Amino acid sequence: MTPLPEYFASHVFDDKEMRARLSADVYASLRKTIDEGTRLDESVANAVAAAMCDWAVEHGATHFTHWFQPLTGITAEKHDGFLNPAPDGRIIMEFSGKELIKGEPDASSFPSGGIRATFEARGYTAWDPTSYAFIKEKTLCIPTAFCSYGGEALDKKTPLLRSMEALNRQALRILKLFGADDVTRVTTNVGPEQEYFLVDRDMYLKRKDLIFTGRTLFGAKPPKGQELEDHYFGAIKPRVQAYMEDLNDELWKLGILAKTEHNEVAPAQHELAPIYSTTNVATDHNQLTMEIMKKVARRHNLVCLLHEKPFAGVNGSGKHNNWSMSTNTGVNLLSPGDTPHENAQFLLFLAAVIKAVDDYQELLRLSVATAGNDHRLGANEAPPAVISIFLGDELSAVLDAIEHDTPYAGVEKKRLKLGVDSLPRFTRDTTDRNRTSPFAFTGNKFEFRMVGSSDSIACANIMINSAVAESLRVFADDLEQADDFASRLHSLIQETIVAHKRIIFNGNGYDDAWIKEAENVRGLANLRTTADAMPHLLDDKNASMLIRHGVFTQTELESRCEIKLENYVRTVHIEALTMVDMARREILPAVSAYAAALASGISAKKAVDPLLVCASDTLIMRRLSNLSDAIDDDTRILSDAVTALDEIADTTKASAFVRDQILPKMQALRADCDEAEAMTAASYWPFPTYGDLLFGV
């Protein structure tokens, strides 16, 4: 067996390969582009392309593709062969700098929110040299940005790179004031923890709802769920362990630093967590991870479900976005050090994050808004839809002392005594972890816990980067004009704490009392659904900030709002139609057949001896008969509502109709069907139950 260090990143054209295959001058020029963002010379591109082609062909690649992230939520690729005709009638394998730098996919066939009409097809992909090329199966994949013929971004990578550059510019201004002249770049780093479910593929293929929507639209609660809390961190089942080992091998070949794996809280739920990398690379890697999770699952006759709420009644799946800032000199700007109350630079960057989250809480919420995630947020398993920050005891005490100009008393670093002499003693962290907080400080980073399991992390990080960049811009504008830097620095931190402390909450985010306090006392936004959240993208405050930093144009913002709302409407539309289909063609026939069988049995018993008829049989038959009528009515009402939805042309109005009319009718149909399932004999039920799916692997 090949040792991991020898095959890790073996499918990646990384720095090691570039250094070995490129001349010193070409390598230095490319590194300058990667590290400092300088423009790439065409001769350098040709040399890189030739070396990249040689390497890829050596590894069995026959094609290349510009791998990009359109606004579909998944990745896209068009494969072209390396082969070119030779004069002697044979072929040569070659790849030019022009092919490396630019591609031309059809821009009218991807979501554009009105930027591209059907007849306006031209679009461009542009090589992103900051993210390494890699081989997937027999194709060289080149990470690229995607834009329209007019230059508007039609992807998630472009605005992400813009937001990273915006934060870099403003952070450098701040660091210069602190005398950090050796710092030339500030990057954001992310480690996204990925939750997912595994179900048996044969069972999956018997459920139209899973096939068409990725979640179960019907399903009575099984006798056992997650009540015993015995699945979390439990022994991993052999079939799942085999899947995880296979998945790790595939990810490691692609240089993805998959490190942690375990069972999550719900039955059949698991988690994979990588080591941190720069935000752009982490985003690419997470998109690859989700794709490979699904491919590897098929090898094991499993299906990987990445929907945020595939099963009602048990925990859904999120993606914890661990975010931090660091300098090219190796300094984590969110590391408090041993004495955070004396670390002014840390406190200013902390204040910038607090201000950013408070000022742009709507942007953070809408960055994770999807039809799937709406089912999860606030469901006593995930953070609520209200944004708040958890800081813990020590930092809260530091900020309180600054706010009131009182001496900082400090938080005692206690040693844990476990009561067994043979066990080691260790110092307890001064900050607990709060899993109910949407935005929690966890030592030297912030954990944004609201991202949905199927979502790209690009959206959330675009908004975090941009909002923090804006806070730093405001701070830099102020401090650069100060006559007494130290005095003004103290006052600025103090003023920021006073102005934005409403966003800090260290308590239980699941508590209904907190939601009431957040809305009614603190004035925080509670945007429960995508229909509520997305229109805020175009609020003057939000739009002007994103445009000011060059992250989006007004046209790009309008298109994204339209696309997100349209996707929300289409997703629920598909779910509603699937429910109607399943209810009419599977559930109603099954319930009616069982009710008829009960009636036939009752009649047969009566013919022999009326005393043989059980009251429970009669009651069940009558209830099932009533439920059949109710299901039929619910289905017709939902079908009529979908027809009415089809007639609404305005996307914003359609999204409100989905929220107010379609979803409640879907819930009513589900409630009757789930009750009928609980009363129908298992041999009559037409598809696998929750018990089968959750405990069938």
Q: What is the pLDDT of residue 431?
A: 61
* 233-241 average pLDDT score: 92
pLDDT tens by residue, 617-665: 788 888 999 999 999 999 999 999 999 999 999 999 999 999 999 999 9
pLDDT tens by residue, 170-200: 999 999 999 999 999 999 999 999 999 999 9
Q: Is the pLDDT of residue 149 over 90?
A: no
Confidence class for position 419, pLDDT limits 50, 70, 90: low
Share of residues in the chain with pLDDT > 70 (%): 94
For residue 55, the 8-state DSSP code is H
Exposure of 170 in the CB half-sphere (CA atoms within 13 A): 27
Q: Is the pLDDT of residue 359 over 60?
A: yes
Q: What is the pLDDT of residue 228?
A: 81
* 580-587 average pLDDT score: 98
Q: What is the pLDDT of residue 427?
A: 52
User: CB-based contacts of 518: which residues, under 8 Å, 6+ apart?
Assistant: 386, 388, 505, 524, 526
Closest by Cα among 330, 332, 325, 317 to 279: 325
Dist. CA 411–CA 413, nearest whole Å: 6
Q: What is the pLDDT of residue 96?
A: 86
Confidence class for position 613, pLDDT limits 50, 70, 90: low
- Residues paired with residue 415 on neighbouring β-strands, in sequence order: 427
Start-end of CATH 3.10.20.70 domains in the chain: 4-155
* Angle at 380 (CA atoms; ends 374, 386), nearest 5 degrees: 55
* Angle at 353 (CA atoms; ends 159, 397), nearest 5 degrees: 165
Dist. CA 52–CA 56, nearest whole Å: 6
Q: Which fold has domain 568-694?
A: Four Helix Bundle (Hemerythrin (Met), subunit A) (1.20.120)
Q: By 3-state DSSP, what share of the chain in percent is helix, strand and coil, each rounded to 5?
A: 50, 15, 35
Strand pairing category for 139-148 and 133-136: antiparallel
Cβ(519)–Cβ(378) under 8 Å? no
Confidence class for position 543, pLDDT limits 50, 70, 90: very high
User: CB-based contacts of 198: which residues, under 8 Å, 6+ apart?
Assistant: 240, 243, 268, 270, 297, 302, 303, 304, 305, 697
User: CB-based contacts of 542: which residues, under 8 Å, 6+ apart?
Assistant: 360, 362, 363, 536
Q: What is the pLDDT of residue 37?
A: 75
Which of 70-84, 400-414, 446-460 holds the top average pLDDT? 446-460
pLDDT tens by residue, 654-678: 999 999 999 999 999 999 999 999 9
**CATH superfamily name and code, 4-155:** Glutamine synthetase, N-terminal domain (3.10.20.70)
Provide the token pair at 556: 């790009």
Q: Is the pLDDT of residue 90 over 80?
A: no
Bigger pLDDT: 149 or 643? 643
Q: What is the pLDDT of residue 430?
A: 56
Q: What is the pLDDT of residue 422?
A: 54
Q: What is the pLDDT of residue 35?
A: 82
Closest by Cα among 460, 215, 186 to 320: 460
Start-end of CATH 1.20.120.1560 domains in the chain: 568-694
Of the candidate CATH numbers 3.30.70.260, 3.30.590.10, 3.40.50.1000, 3.40.50.460, the domain formed by 163-552 belongs to 3.30.590.10
Dist. CA 622–CA 605, nearest whole Å: 17
Q: Is the pLDDT of residue 117 over 80?
A: no
Q: What is the pLDDT of residue 303?
A: 98
Closest by Cα among 444, 436, 442 to 507: 436
User: What's the burial of 509, exposed, middle or buried (CB within 10 Å: 0-12/13-18/19+)?
Assistant: buried
Q: Is the pLDDT of residue 125 over 80?
A: yes
* 153-181 average pLDDT score: 96
Start-end of CATH 3.30.590.10 domains in the chain: 163-552
Confidence class for position 421, pLDDT limits 50, 70, 90: low
Q: 36-50, 302-316, 356-370: which has the minimum mean pLDDT?
A: 36-50
Q: What is the mean pLDDT of the chain?
A: 91
Written in H, E and C, the secondary structure of 386-437 is: ECCEECHHHHHHHHHHHHHCCCCCCCCCCEECCCCCCCCCEECCCCCCCCCC
Tell me the residue type at 597.
Answer: A
